Amino acid sequence: MKRRRRAVLLGVGAALVVFLLADAFVEPPAHEVHSPGGTPAKVTFFESNSTVAWVQSQPSQSLADMQCRLITGATKCDARTLAAFFPNLVQTPQTLYLTWPHCVGGWGGGEVINWQGYSIDYVPSTRKLVIHCYRAKPWLYTHEYVYGVVALPRYVLAAVSTSGMTSGTITIDEDDHIEHLVGDQTDEYQLATATIS
């Protein structure tokens, strides 16, 4: 009887050790992250390129409020430049335009985080548009750090459909989410606010 009990305890202990080792060193598969009660947002992206770069701008329902510049100089974009480089970018109703630096990690120095993807959803109960940056990692991993001068990220212009959003102020948050086999790390912070009319 004692022998059997001891064998069971040793088996349970060994299983617990294997589980803890797996949690510490095994990277789970990455998957999209969504907010409870959120609905996926319909978004079209217009990337900065080698000629035109988006400049951080306050989110607006007016495309004219978005700023960009030509890389070859400090010249601001005009309507002709936008039409030449982004022919599909036109003012549309029920659209919120916002500039966003992608999911970036380490661009200000510190640990470099290579995000595996992102998802965007709108949560009506909190009036939040949430950009989820996600990746999967084991609990124990080697950290990569950036020291010294680092280039600023290139912004993207996101055209977000406001269909289904009621009038008023919304908050735009970014949620940086690192998934582990057990227990996830999440850091949500506000990027901006916008008014929907």
Residue 49 scores a pLDDT above 90: no
In a domain, 14, yes or no: no
Residue 175 has a pLDDT of: 93
CB under 8 Å to 36, separation ≥6 — which residues? 123
> What is the average pLDDT value for the chain, to the nearest integer?
83
In a domain, 117, yes or no: yes
- The mean per-residue pLDDT over the stretch 42-46 comes to 95
Instruction: Give me the half-sphere count of Cα atoms (radius 13 Å) on the Cβ side of residue 80.
Output: 1
In a domain, 10, yes or no: no
Which among 127, 119, 123 is positioned nearest to 103, based on CA atoms? 119
Residue 51 scores a pLDDT above 60: yes
In a domain, 5, yes or no: no
Residue 85 scores a pLDDT above 90: no
Residue 31 has a pLDDT of: 76
Percent of the chain surpassing pLDDT 90: 41
In a domain, 112, yes or no: yes
- Distance, in Å, from the CA atom of 168 to the CA atom of 162, rounded to the nearest integer, reads 11
Q: In which region does residue 58 sit, left (phi positive, over 0), alpha (psi from -120 to 50) or beta (all else)? A: beta
Strands 52-55 and 67-70: antiparallel
Residue 77 scores a pLDDT above 60: yes
Overall domain count for the chain: 1
In a domain, 19, yes or no: no
Residue 33 scores a pLDDT above 80: yes
Structural domain including 88 reads 35-196
Residue 84 has a pLDDT of: 87
Residue 50 has a pLDDT of: 84
Chain segment 122-158, per-residue pLDDT in tens: 999 999 999 999 988 877 666 666 665 556 678 999 9
In a domain, 85, yes or no: yes
- Which 8-state DSSP code applies to residue 155? B
- The mean per-residue pLDDT over the stretch 5-31 comes to 65
In a domain, 78, yes or no: yes
Chain segment 152-193, per-residue pLDDT in tens: 678 999 999 999 999 999 999 999 988 877 778 888 999 999
Chain segment 100-123, per-residue pLDDT in tens: 988 876 555 566 677 888 999 999
Residue 191 has a pLDDT of: 94
| DSSP β-bridge partners for residue 128 | 123, 171
Q: Are 38 and 197 in contact (CB under 8 A)?
A: no
Strands 39-40 and 117-123: antiparallel
